[in-house]
Amino acid sequence: EQQAAFARSLCLFRKGRAQNFLDQDHSDQIVAWYRAFEDVEDRAKVATLDEIKKLFVHARTFGEDLRASAELCRGMIAASLFYEPSTRTRLSFESAMLRLGGGVITAADMRNLSASKGESLADTARVVSGAYADIVVLRHSSEGAARLAAQYSSVPVINAGDGAHEHPTQTLCDLYNLWLERGRIEGLDVVLAGDLRYSRTIHSFAYALARFGANVVCVPAPGFEMPDYVLQRLREEFGVEPQRADTKSLGELASQSDAVYLTPQKPHQLSLFTDARGFAVARVDALYMTRPQTERHPNGAQLDSYVQIGRRQLAVEPLRDAVVMHPLPRRDELSEDLDSDPRAIFITM
């Protein structure tokens, strides 16, 4: 149980801002919260919204002194298995474990692991979890890799991104930062923009926002619309029906896009947004931009219409007070003229 509790804590430690639960009598309550936004089969293992909000409060406290918990994981080891490139996710997990007083084992180049000799992920998970590590943090290019590894691992496995599927710990950080900025998540209006098809951070974030009762406007780059399987889960699990959105008010950001509005609210509650043309976007709390996930694109994917966001595009009325978020790394989709803009929180989040 202690190991599992530690695993759950580590997810938020990835940004160096979490609280550990080992000494706080929380371990029974926080059941498998690190899977809060994945499609876990056992719904009883999903953290409640209250539990997640408690985590945010603890995370904020932890952020006040990153060096205060250096004894909590002494003697514990995290295996950092990153089969895909990463800066933030990998280094933040490794930094988190070191800040807790534990150690990290990894391979500088995953091509040097036995996978290159044909070892299956299942066998790697068995071997690493057998005696080497107390927790595994896995990034992999295949959808479902973390779930598979968890089935064969004897220690907790954290999904640090599996293909185009999900990135739940990024979502915890995104939610946490949104909560810090706005003081709540319920009822916020959030625009998800860019490559909605292949961006795993978008998928996890959309489920989480739906769970919290936020409204989402999807503004995909042409050809990179939200996948049907994500929309289906939003519909079946959260009762969210996609509606056509009128995004004229968003100007250049949405000029090429077939935008849809995802809201947990019933139509009669939408008087502020509804007009004859569909759901008009009046005010946005957060704009979450994503890069084109070119490593997952089929050959010949067109990026000509991929929008670039800068101060000019944010000058329209609904975006005037929106915080600008991005899971990073960015390419050209976020202009550098935003770097000094107080609305841009993407570097520090």
Question: Could you list the active site residues?
Answer: 88-89, 117, 139, 167
In single-letter form, the type of residue at position 207 comes to Y
Here's the x/- map for ligand CP, 143-182, by CB under 6 A: it reads as ------------------x-----x--x------------
Range list of β-strands (E), the chain: 77-82, 103-106, 135-140, 157-162, 189-194, 215-220, 241-246, 260-263, 274-275, 278-280, 286-289, 323-325
267 binds ligand CP (CB under 6 A): no
Beta carbons of 89 and 67 less than 8 angstroms apart: no
Q: How many residues bind ligand CP (CB under 6 A)?
A: 11
Q: CB of residue 183 vs ligand CP: minimum separation in angstroms?
A: 24
Q: Which two tokens stand for residue 55?
A: 């985590």
> For ligand CP, which is the closer residue by CB, 26 or 90?
90
130 binds ligand CP (CB under 6 A): no
215 binds ligand CP (CB under 6 A): no
CA distance 115 to 12: 29
Q: Which two tokens stand for residue 346?
A: 């993407």
- Taking the chain, what is the end-to-end CA distance rounded to the nearest angstrom? 30
CA distance 72 to 99: 9
318 binds ligand CP (CB under 6 A): no
Q: CB of residue 42 vs ligand CP: minimum separation in angstroms?
A: 26
Among 327, 333, 343, 349, the residue binding ligand CP under the rule CB under 6 A is 327
Q: CB of residue 167 vs ligand CP: minimum separation in angstroms?
A: 6
DSSP-based three-state secondary structure for 281: coil
199 binds ligand CP (CB under 6 A): no
328 binds ligand CP (CB under 6 A): yes
Contacts (CB under 6 A) with ligand CP, residues 67-106: 86-90
DSSP-based three-state secondary structure for 166: strand
Binding site for ligand CP (CB under 6 A): 86-90, 161, 167, 170, 327-329
